[in-house]
Structure 1
Amino acid sequence: MPALPDPHTSRAVLLGTGTFERPELPDISAIRNNLSALAEALRSERVWGLPRDHCVVVPDPSTNIELLDPIVAAAQQATDTLILYYAGHGLVDSKHGDLHLTLTTTDTRRIYTAVPYSNVRDIVLDSRAARRIVILDCCYSGRALGTMADPATTVVNEASAEGTYILAAAAENKIALAPPGEPFTAFTGAFLDTLRTGIPGESEMLNLDAIYNQVLGRMRESSRPLPQKRDRNTAGRLSLVHNQAHPAVLDLHRAAHSFLQVDTGVAEVTRALLTELFAEDPAARRRAAEALARLDNREEAVLTALDSSIRDDLDHEVRRSARNAFLQLGDPAEFGMIRIPAGDFVMGTSDRGRAMLRAQLGLEGAWTYSESPERRVSLPSYFIDRTPVTNAEFDAFVRATGYRTVCEIEGSGHVKTRGGGQVTEVPGVDWAHPAGPGSTWRDLPDHPVTLLAWPDVAAYAAWAGKQLPTEAQWEKAARGTGGRLWPWGDTWREGVCNVSAFHAARLGGPGAPRTDWWQTFDQLRDAPLTTPVGSFPDGASPYGLLDCAGNVCERTSDWYDRYPDGWDSSEHYGRKYHVLRGGAFHHGPELARTAARDFAHPLFRTFHDGFRCVVNVPE
């Protein structure tokens, strides 16, 4: 039986341009879904098993360098198989008829602002790879979202490169590229479906011709644009992926988990669920994962099966269910989470707490009345992120879903600029460009993501299969059960968290007033003030949470309102603002307390607010 390409000596570069600065090039939101789903499939052991760092994803390149450099690197590294995928609008040079690939900055009136396909072809030709696969899911004219402008054969002829296999998603005029309501573009959706579900009656391994013929048939059946292909040097007979529809493939996958075939001491009901965890039906696999969690069987066989499902299952919901089961049965630290045990804790601030604050900080206590009365609150067990969600983690969500944040839609965010202490709305600022145009989150991958509104953080949590913490969940995880003022104890300590005094000492020297630097700080000029998550281990909570004091304020799911049996009043109470916890880099010790409450409007998106998530588990 032919072997698959060696994943360790193969490379894939997946490029897609789905957002554009020019209005004549409509955005194609499905392209981000294309990229993440295709990368997920190629990396899956069930499909091929390409190592993560051998499959490079480049969403929305804005320059020639951003598009071409990853192709050059992969072409130099690959010796077995090189895969190049591009999705986006395509343009044709009206003078020479040459194909060009669009960038986010492409201007259709200036063909030179797009990348000539000939540049890409030359790089592919120079590769040491024995086999080269080029997949083009692009249009020419860009006249409107979802149209292809020229005959399919033109794409193939233009794309031709000796020694490669070309799959071209060319189409007739006025045929949709990204059908409304569907997550993927038409061609890539059919291609992905073939990788995920396989082809009944074909061999255990699918070659390129079989994949092409299946995609062609599906596109023809649905009256969609018909793809074209060209192969040189028998590349079409190259086995590329495991055929998910072949009975032997599931048997081979199960055989890799010897606990399904040998007596491991696992109860019969558990053994049956382990088998069901690799069934063909995703719903059955999801139910099996949920049932395994309820059985509370923590044997290595169960954890190994769940880990395999988390890594290899192609269904997002199944992976989430397997992860939740692993959280309950295994070590939640493997997923960056901490288990908070069921039980009660002290919530809020008492007169004794106010007296301690007055003695240490010289602060009067009236402004803490929103935290009163102190009371004991009982919570079931739950899991909470050890650190706030980072830029890199939020980017994974955006790449997987094509999500656009409120800042990106509105074109502005709330940041501090020079002069005075107020935060103002500034154009061009968003989570991916935290210091305005020209800045990038990629310079701060491990910093907490900011400049998000409530709908943005809620969307991330839903995608991740998590929730925003309630006030009570956040406070218990940050202070423990005994009512600490700060995560580390009842005495304020300098240097164990990212708050205003940290920046005063850094910018003005030891003993510098903690508020002076804020008056001249400019986010567009002086960013960042955030620090990588987990930078202050000495500030950990009793449960091991980090960044509970300072760095960024953290959103919770609760509305800002009076506590039960509270006596104070505020115009801000009611279903108008969500509660923030933990304080941020520009706050003092008083707002870095575990019981301190702040608030923000659901659509307020600023550079000092972030979030972390929880997973609630059934009792």
Structure 2
Amino acid sequence: MATDAPQQRHALLPDLARSRAVLVACDNDAVRVPELQPSARTARLAQALTSPDAAGAFHPDAVTVVTAHRHSAEVLDAVRRAAEEASDVLLLHYVGSGPRHREFALPSADPRSEGTAPLRTVADIVLESRAARRVVLLDCEDFETASGLFAGSPSPGGAEAAGGLCLMGKPPSLYFGSGDEAIPAGDEFTATLAEALRSGVADGPEVLDVVTLRNAVEGRWAQLGYGVENEYVTAPDTLSLVGGHDVALGGNIAFGPEGDRSRGPFHLDAGVVDLVERWWD
């Protein structure tokens, strides 16, 4: 009896057995809605990266989400373990804002300390890993400083990242007030990326390489800006990107005539538009 041959996995997708991902979130105490915390958005991205519906980039057991990192050793241990185990793709995602983020990502101003930010150590581990393809996604305040740890330059625009490394990210560009704090809102990168992976990109390729994902996320923000007709709402910044053609973070569920379009690939989120318009009324 003839049997169907196993379908070969697309070459741009990470090898499931030889790839690892670590997603790190620094929550912000000024954010009062748990669903809007970096840890909640990071959890949604982890789910999208492992979704079997969209040829998940990673096996669920190969993805570590670290959110309780008041002690940075937990993050460093997770990144070291992933870097040691990954020989194909090593992905690091970091999202953060507020005081905890600053403690994690910026050098200490205290002269009694060594002045080394934990994120710098994370960057060293990633850059020294033996993974053939390394992907870094940064969604944080102080983006230029954070990205410079990985790209070797304080300004990632046009910079050459270390060999075999793809870097994509941005700082927040739209804030809402919350007491004495200002919290990112409206054009958030992590949640939009997760939605692109979950819903697929209409008229996109078979798998969602990082360049395609960057273009899709920017397109979503452009659509959001068109929907929010208010002179006080600034357009989101573009995503900085180095590399990205040689690795995909998921299959495109909306690809081809048989694609699943029931979830409406990347339609405008009217709820976000309403929220922004109500805030400025």
What TM-score bracket applies, with the shorter chain setting the length? 0.5 to 0.7
Aligned residue for 1:46, secondary structure, equals: helix
Aligned equivalent of 2:273: none
Higher Rg: 1
Aligned equivalent of 2:127: 125
**1:198 pairs with 2:179:** no
Summarize the alignment of residues 572-583 of structure 1 with structure 2, pairs less than 5 Å apart.
Answer: none
Cα pair 1:13 1:70 within 8 Å, conserved: yes
Q: Name the CA shift for 1:135/1:177 in 2 (closer, same or farther; >3 Å).
A: farther
Cα pair 1:220 1:226 within 8 Å, conserved: no
Aligned residue for 1:9, secondary structure, equals: coil
- After TM superposition, the runs of 4+ consecutive aligned structure 1 residues lying more than 6 A away are 106-109
- CA distance in 1 between counterparts of 2:165 and 2:98 reads 20
Percentage of matched positions with identical amino acids: 28
Cα pair 1:167 1:229 within 8 Å, conserved: yes
- CA distance in 2 between counterparts of 1:119 and 1:157 reads 13
- CA distance in 1 between counterparts of 2:255 and 2:223 reads 23
Aligned equivalent of 1:76: 84
**1:225 pairs with 2:239:** no
- CA distance in 2 between counterparts of 1:16 and 1:226 reads 21
Cα pair 2:174 2:184 within 8 Å, conserved: no
Aligned equivalent of 1:32: 39
Cα pair 1:4 1:239 within 8 Å, conserved: yes
- CA distance in 1 between counterparts of 2:183 and 2:170 reads 9
Summarize the alignment of residues 126-145 of structure 1 with structure 2, pairs less than 5 Å apart.
Answer: 126-140=128-142
Summarize the alignment of residues 164-313 of structure 1 with structure 2, pairs less than 5 Å apart.
Answer: 164-172=165-173, 174=175, 178-179=184-185, 186-223=188-225, 224-232=235-243, 235-247=244-256, 250=259, 280-281=261-262
How many Å apart are 1:110 and its aligned residue?
A: 5.1
How many Å apart are 1:121 and its aligned residue?
A: 1.2
Q: Name the CA shift for 1:48/1:156 in 2 (closer, same or farther; >3 Å).
A: same
**1:5 pairs with 2:7:** no
Q: Name the CA shift for 1:42/1:196 in 2 (closer, same or farther; >3 Å).
A: same
Cα pair 1:167 1:227 within 8 Å, conserved: no
**Structure 1 residue ranges without an equivalent (≥5):** 92-99, 141-151, 251-278, 284-619
Cα pair 2:12 2:246 within 8 Å, conserved: no
Q: Name the CA shift for 1:83/1:48 in 2 (closer, same or farther; >3 Å).
A: farther
- CA distance in 1 between counterparts of 2:167 and 2:149 reads 10
- CA distance in 2 between counterparts of 1:173 and 1:205 reads 30
Q: Name the CA shift for 1:225/1:195 in 2 (closer, same or farther; >3 Å).
A: same
Summarize the alignment of residues 560-599 of structure 1 with structure 2, pairs less than 5 Å apart.
Answer: none
Cα pair 1:153 1:228 within 8 Å, conserved: no
Partner amino acid for 2:206? E
Q: State the superposition RMSD in angstroms.
A: 3.4
Aligned residue for 1:222, secondary structure, equals: helix
How many Å apart are 1:186 and its aligned residue?
A: 1.2
Aligned equivalent of 1:89: 97
Cα pair 1:90 1:138 within 8 Å, conserved: no
Aligned equivalent of 1:148: none
- CA distance in 2 between counterparts of 1:83 and 1:188 reads 14
- CA distance in 1 between counterparts of 2:47 and 2:71 reads 25
How many Å apart are 1:127 and its aligned residue?
A: 1.0
Cα pair 2:23 2:42 within 8 Å, conserved: yes
How many Å apart are 1:130 and its aligned residue?
A: 0.7
Partner amino acid for 1:47? A
Aligned residue for 2:52, secondary structure, equals: coil
How many Å apart are 1:227 and its aligned residue?
A: 4.0
- CA distance in 1 between counterparts of 2:252 and 2:128 reads 31
Q: TM-score, normalised by structure 1?
A: 0.33
- CA distance in 2 between counterparts of 1:10 and 1:209 reads 20
Q: Which has the higher contact order (CA 8 A, sep 6+)?
A: 2
The size of the alignment, in residue pairs, is 225
Cα pair 1:9 1:78 within 8 Å, conserved: yes
Aligned residue for 1:71, secondary structure, equals: helix
Aligned residue for 1:8, secondary structure, equals: coil
Aligned residue for 1:226, secondary structure, equals: coil
Q: TM-score, normalised by structure 2?
A: 0.67
How many Å apart are 1:84 and its aligned residue?
A: 0.5
